[in-house]
Amino acid sequence: MSKPQADNLLLIRQRGLCEYEPIWHEMQVFTQQRQPDTADELWLLQHPPVFTLGRNAKPEHLLDPGKIPVIPIDRGGQVTYHGPGQLMVYTLADLKRLGMGIREFVTALEQAVIDLLAGYHIEAHGRRDAPGVYVEGAKIAALGLRVKQGCTYHGLALNIDMDLAPFQRINPCGYAGMAVTQLRDFGVTESLTAVSDRFIPHLLTHLGYNQCELPPGNAHE
């Protein structure tokens, strides 16, 4: 965990259900235009069904997309699926200001998820060879980031209460036969919003923010 600084402010924006491509391009523009004093932001949202292909994605891992859109994007990693009932946590962060390297940042995100799940009495762990969070060998959260000029965008996807069937149409994150799970499978019936509210304090702790704000309205719409 990084050491909090006096000006470590995080702006948290609840975005609702958003199409993938516009949000992706907003993240790119935000990162390109941000200045040294621009506050970091956390965007919390859901996407309609979509497969995304990271920069290293191999076509053979996309088995049978059917009618679900497929979008090649600029994060690291392979192919994954996003859909309603999955919490997207987009981290627009200045790593230098946080005093963190990318590996430390990824570990902090994973640990925030692990601590969240511990609050539901679910034992989870990360994997050095395959970033993300796993429960009983099944992936419950995926991570994928892009770093430009020392600042991150993209983030993590936490499966809460969704249709997992589309994961069978891909090799998740490039691993054939990888099992995928979600909070609902472990008896968690809280809404996505309630889970999100529980998650934020863990993120603040592990990323080293000492203050946060929820701006009124949405400056990015």
Q: What is the mean pLDDT of residues 120-129?
A: 94
Q: Is the pLDDT of residue 219 over 80?
A: no
- Coil, helix or strand at residue 37: coil
Provide the pLDDT confidence category of residue 2 given band limits of 50, 70 and 90: very low
From the candidates 18, 151, 173, 212, give the one annotated as an active-site residue.
173
Is 76 labeled as ligand-binding?
yes
Q: Is the pLDDT of residue 3 over 60?
A: no
In tens, the pLDDT along 69-90 reads 999 999 988 999 999 999 999 9
H or E element at residue 97: helix 95-98
Is 85 labeled as ligand-binding?
no
**Is 173 designated active site?**
yes
Question: What's residue 77's pLDDT?
Answer: 86
Is 143 labeled as ligand-binding?
yes
- Coil, helix or strand at residue 26: helix
In tens, the pLDDT along 183-208 reads 999 999 999 999 999 999 999 999 99
207: which residues sit within 8 A by CB, 6+ positions away?
A: 1, 2, 10, 91, 93, 98, 100, 105, 108, 109, 112
The model's pTM: 0.93
Is 42 labeled as ligand-binding?
no
Q: Is the pLDDT of residue 171 over 90?
A: yes
Question: What's residue 7's pLDDT?
Answer: 66
Per-domain residue ranges of the chain: 9-207
Residues linked to residue 157 through DSSP beta bridges, in sequence order: 88, 142
The CA distances from residue 134 to 104, 180, 196, 214, in Å, are: 18, 9, 18, 30
Q: Cα–Cα distance between 187 and 169 in angstroms, integer?
A: 25
Is 80 labeled as ligand-binding?
yes
Q: Which CATH architecture has domain 9-207?
A: 2-Layer Sandwich (3.30)
Q: Is the pLDDT of residue 1 over 50?
A: no
